[in-house]
Amino acid sequence: MNYPAWQLDAFGGGFFIALIAIVHVYVSHFAVGGGLFLVLTEMKGLREGSSEIIAYTRRHTRFFLLLTMVLGATTGVGIWFTIALLNPAATSFLIHLFVFAWAIEWVFFLAEIVSLLFYYYTFDRLEPRKHLILGWIYFGCAWLSLFFINGIIDFMLTPGAWLADNNFWSGFFNPTFWPALFFRTFMALMLAGLFGFLTSVNIKEAGLRHTMVRYCGMWLLPPLILLLGSALWYKIALPLPQQEMIFSRAPEMKPFLTLFIWLSPLIFAGGLTMAILRPQAVRRPLAWLLLLLGFLYLGSFEFIREGGRRPYIIHDYMYSTSIKKADMGQIQKTGVLASARWVKNKTITAENRMDAGKELFTLLCMPCHSAGGPLNDILPLARRFSPAGMRSFLATMGTANPYMPPFAGNEEEQSVLADYLTTRLVPGIVNKVVKINKESIKPAPFDKETGEYLILASSDKGMILSSEPELSGIDFSFAPPTLQAQVILRGEAPSVLTDDIQVSYRIDTDQGPLLGNMIAAEGTFAATLAKIPPIAKDFRPYLLAEIEAVKGGKVIAATRLKIGLSNEIGCRNCHGGPWRQQGRTGLSRQTAADILAIHDKRSSTKLSQDFHSGKIVVCADCHADSSRGAAGQPGPLNLSAAIHGFHAAYLYKENNSCTFCHANSAQGATGNMEDLHSTIGLECANCHGSLTDHAMSLLIEEQQAQKPGSAKLVALLADKGEMAQEKIQGRMPWSMEPDCLTCHVGFQPPDSSTAFNTWSADKKGLFVHRHGEEGALLCTSCHGSQHSLYPADNAYSKEVGNLQPLQYQNNPYPLGADRGCAVCHTVEMEEELHHPGSLGTFRNRVE
Amino acid sequence: MIPTHLIPTPDPLQVPWGWFQILLSTTFLLHLLVMNIMLGWAIIAFCNHAFRDTIADDNQLISKNLPFTIAFTINFGVAPLLFLQVLYGHFMYTSSVLMAVFWLSIVAILLLAYYATYLYNLQFSKMSGLHTLLSGIIALFLLAIAFLFTNNMSLMVSPESWVHYFDHPDGMLLNFEDSTLMPRYLHSVLASVAVGGLALGLYYDWQRRRGDTTAADRIPSAMNWFSYATIANFGFGTWYFGSLPASIRTVTGVTGAFLLCFLLAGITAAILSLIYGLQHRVRHAAGAVLGAIICMVTVRELVRRQTLAPWFSTSDLEVVPQYSPMILFLLLFAGGLYLVWWMIKLVLPAKKEVQS
Radius of gyration of chain A measured on its C-alpha atoms: 36
Q: Does A276 touch chain B (CB under 8 A)?
A: no
Surface-to-core class of residue B129, CB atoms within 10 Å of its CB (0-12 exposed, 13-18 middle, 19+ buried): exposed
> Is A168 in Cβ contact with B322 (below 8 Å)?
yes
Fold of B15-327: Formate dehydrogenase/DMSO reductase fold (1.20.1630)
In 3D, which of A537, A531, A544 has the Cα closest to residue A585? A537
> Is A111 in Cβ contact with B336 (below 8 Å)?
yes
CA distance A122 to A359: 57
CA distance A786 to A792: 10
Nearest to B347 among A106, A109, A126 (CB): A126
In this structure, CATH architecture of domain A453-566: Sandwich (2.60)
> Is A133 in Cβ contact with B325 (below 8 Å)?
no
Nearest to B74 among A73, A125, A362 (CB): A73
Q: Do the first three CATH levels of A349-425 and A453-566 match, i.e. the same topology? A: no
What DSSP string describes B222-255? HHHHHHHHHHHHHHHHHHHHHHS-HHHHT--HHH
Task: Give contacts of B104 with chain A, Cβ < 8 Å.
Answer: 16, 78, 81-82, 85
> Is A106 in Cβ contact with B111 (below 8 Å)?
no
User: What pLDDT sits at residue B55?
Assistant: 58
User: What pLDDT sits at residue B350?
Assistant: 59
- Alpha-carbon gap: B305 to the closest alpha carbon of chain A (Å): 20
Fold of A349-425: Cytochrome Bc1 Complex; Chain D, domain 2 (1.10.760)
Q: How many CB atoms lie within 10 A of CB A552?
A: 8
- Alpha-carbon gap: B263 to the closest alpha carbon of chain A (Å): 30
Task: Give contacts of B5 with chain A, Cβ < 8 Å.
Answer: 341
Angstrom distances, CA of residue A845 to CA of A16, A47, A607, A808: 67, 106, 50, 18
Radius of gyration of chain B measured on its C-alpha atoms: 21
- Alpha-carbon gap: A402 to the closest alpha carbon of chain B (Å): 28
- Alpha-carbon gap: A344 to the closest alpha carbon of chain B (Å): 7
- Alpha-carbon gap: A241 to the closest alpha carbon of chain B (Å): 27
| Nearest residue on chain B to A129, alpha-carbon basis | B346
Domain ranges of chain B: 15-327
Among A residues 113-142, those touching chain B with beta carbons less than 8 Å apart: 113-115, 117-118, 122, 125-126, 130, 133-134, 137
Around A477, how many Cα atoms within 13 Å sit in the side-chain half-sphere? Answer: 29
> Is B350 in Cβ contact with A85 (below 8 Å)?
no
- Residue B163 makes CB contacts below 8 A (sequence gap 6+) with B1, B3, B6
Residue A455 near residue A593, CB atoms below 8 Å = no
Task: Give contacts of B20 with chain A, Cβ < 8 Å.
Answer: 99
Task: Give contacts of B13 with chain A, Cβ < 8 Å.
Answer: 96
User: What pLDDT sits at residue B264?
Assistant: 95
In 3D, which of A824, A818, A808 has the Cα closest to residue A838? A818
Contact pairs from chain A to chain B, CB under 8 Å: 192
Task: State CA A384 to chain mean position distance.
Answer: 12
Task: Give contacts of B326 with chain A, Cβ < 8 Å.
Answer: 100
For the CA atoms of B253, B254, B258, B261, what is the dihedral angle to 10 degrees? 60
In 3D, which of A39, A55, A200, A191 has the Cα closest to residue A115? A39
Q: Does A1 touch chain B (CB under 8 A)?
A: no
CA distance B101 to A165: 39
Task: Give contacts of A69 with chain B, Cβ < 8 Å.
Answer: 71
- Which candidate in B1, B7, B70, B78 is best for mutational testing of the A interface (most A CBs within 10 A)? B78
Around A639, how many Cα atoms within 13 Å sit in the side-chain half-sphere? Answer: 21
User: What pLDDT sits at residue A80?
Assistant: 95
Around A11, how many Cα atoms within 13 Å sit in the side-chain half-sphere? Answer: 15
Task: Give contacts of B72 with chain A, Cβ < 8 Å.
Answer: 113
Nearest to B107 among A74, A88, A137 (CB): A74
Q: Is the dihedral of CA A783, A789, A793, A795 positive or negative?
A: negative
Segment holding A489, helix H or strand E? strand A482-489
Question: Which phi and psi angles does B214 have, rounded to 5°?
Answer: -85, -20
Task: Give contacts of A101 with chain B, Cβ < 8 Å.
Answer: 325
> Is A4 in Cβ contact with B324 (below 8 Å)?
no
User: What pLDDT sits at residue B353?
Assistant: 46
Q: Is the dihedral of CA A725, A726, A728, A729 positive or negative?
A: positive
- Tens digit of each residue's pLDDT, chain B (356 residues): 778 899 999 999 999 999 999 999 999 999 999 999 999 999 999 999 988 765 567 888 999 999 999 999 999 999 999 999 999 999 999 999 999 999 999 999 999 999 999 999 887 777 777 889 999 999 999 999 999 999 999 999 999 999 999 999 999 999 999 999 999 999 999 999 999 999 999 999 999 998 888 889 999 999 999 999 999 999 999 999 999 998 888 877 888 899 999 999 999 999 999 999 999 999 999 999 999 999 999 999 999 999 999 999 999 999 999 999 999 999 999 999 999 999 999 998 755 444 33
> Is A88 in Cβ contact with B97 (below 8 Å)?
yes
> Is A137 in Cβ contact with B107 (below 8 Å)?
no
| Nearest residue on chain B to A93, alpha-carbon basis | B11
- Alpha-carbon gap: A229 to the closest alpha carbon of chain B (Å): 32
Q: Does A843 touch chain B (CB under 8 A)?
A: no
Q: Does A109 touch chain B (CB under 8 A)?
A: yes
- Residue A406 makes CB contacts below 8 A (sequence gap 6+) with A319, A328, A332, A397, A398, A399
Rama region for A241: left / alpha / beta (φ>0; ψ in -120 to 50; rest): alpha
Q: Does A288 touch chain B (CB under 8 A)?
A: no
For chain A, how far is it from start to end, CA to CA, in angstroms?
57
Chunk chain A into consecutive blocks of 10 residues (it has 847) and report each block's average pLDDT, rounded to whole numbers: 91 88 94 97 96 95 94 95 96 97 97 96 92 97 97 97 97 97 97 95 92 94 94 96 88 88 93 86 92 95 92 96 96 95 94 96 94 92 90 89 92 95 88 85 93 95 92 95 96 93 96 96 94 92 96 96 94 91 93 94 92 96 93 94 92 78 87 88 91 95 92 89 92 94 93 92 93 92 94 94 96 94 89 90 88
Domain ranges of chain A: 10-239, 349-425, 453-566
> Is A7 in Cβ contact with B111 (below 8 Å)?
no
